[in-house]
Amino acid sequence: MTVSPYPIRCRGLLFDMDGTLVDTTVIVERNWKLWCDEHNINFEELISTSHGRPSFEIMKQWAPDHLKEEYQSPAYCESLEVRVTTDTEGMILIPGATELLKSLPADKWAVVTSAGRDMAVTRFQQCGFPKPPILVTASDVTRGKPHPEGYMSAAKQMGVDSKDCVVFEDAPAGIRAGVASGATAVIGMNTGTMPLEHLIEAAANPVIQSFEELEFKFLEDGWIEIHHK
């Protein structure tokens, strides 16, 4: 008999961005494919290890040796992100994301993303999402996902312990970051960006397909209860 994880109690909600709130998989893969073609790099191998990771880490792993230093520079990675950010064809909002974010008290949520700050801010504007009260980006951490630094930083800025937070993630690297942060739960977003088994293997529990499955109750004592409808 499977025991339901609901209701889940927490003091803060920590969201990944891409694949969790908005799906830009088609855009990201289209632009990485162009880059791989330019440098004769196996696209399938690159993309299988890249989801949820910062651009500079992908460059460190995949850029040709004679170009690694240049391609890991902030300026070059920023130029790549500008190309991806200005491309909106195929962008899909995750069902229920807009309504949820607009309903949340400002002191109860944060966004932790492997994207750069300019890219994250622009994406939120493109999606019509409210401005995140706390935004932790690739430029704000020294170690990207799967390291928990980003999630722990967001929790600290919210004034809560990371073990009292719930993380929402769609990628194994991000799920592992959430687990390593000690979060009370890491909810896997099965939005189609990654195979379901990869989310489960990374220890996501529970797993949902959209925010429309959940109900959030904000209690007088400052805690949040998450119920499955």
Residue 16 a catalytic site member: yes
> How many CB atoms neighbour CB 15 within 10 A?
25
Residue 96, SS3?
Answer: coil
Instruction: Give Cα separations from 36 to 55, 64, 124, 197, 224 (angstroms).
Output: 13, 11, 27, 27, 44
Average pLDDT over residues 190-206: 94
- Residue of higher predicted confidence among 66 and 19: 19
Report the mean per-residue pLDDT for the chain.
Answer: 91
Contact 187, 204 (CB under 8 A): yes
Give the pLDDT score at 72: 66
Give the pLDDT score at 46: 86
CATH tag, 8-24+91-228: 3.40.50.1000
pLDDT tens digits along 36-45: 888 888 888 8
Average pLDDT over residues 17-22: 96
Instruction: Give Cα separations from 162 to 43, 89, 112 (angstroms).
Output: 36, 36, 13
pLDDT tens digits along 160-187: 999 999 999 999 999 999 999 999 999 9
* N residues, the chain: 229
Domain ranges of the chain: 8-24+91-228, 25-85
Structure tokens at 47: 């993309």
Strands 135-136 and 207-208: unpaired
Is the pLDDT confidence value at 85 over 90? Answer: no
Give the pLDDT score at 3: 73
- Provide the pLDDT confidence category of residue 2 given band limits of 50, 70 and 90: low
Instruction: Give Cα separations from 43 to 35, 49, 62 (angstroms).
Output: 9, 10, 10
- Provide the pLDDT confidence category of residue 106 given band limits of 50, 70 and 90: very high
CATH tag, 25-85: 1.10.150
CA angle 9, 202, 3 (to 5 degrees): 45
Give the pLDDT score at 57: 78
Give the pLDDT score at 190: 96
- Among 77-81, 159-163, 194-198, top mean pLDDT goes to 159-163
Average pLDDT over residues 3-13: 93
Rounded to whole angstroms, the Cα distance separating 167 from 186 reads 5
16, 23, 164, 170: the catalytic one is 16
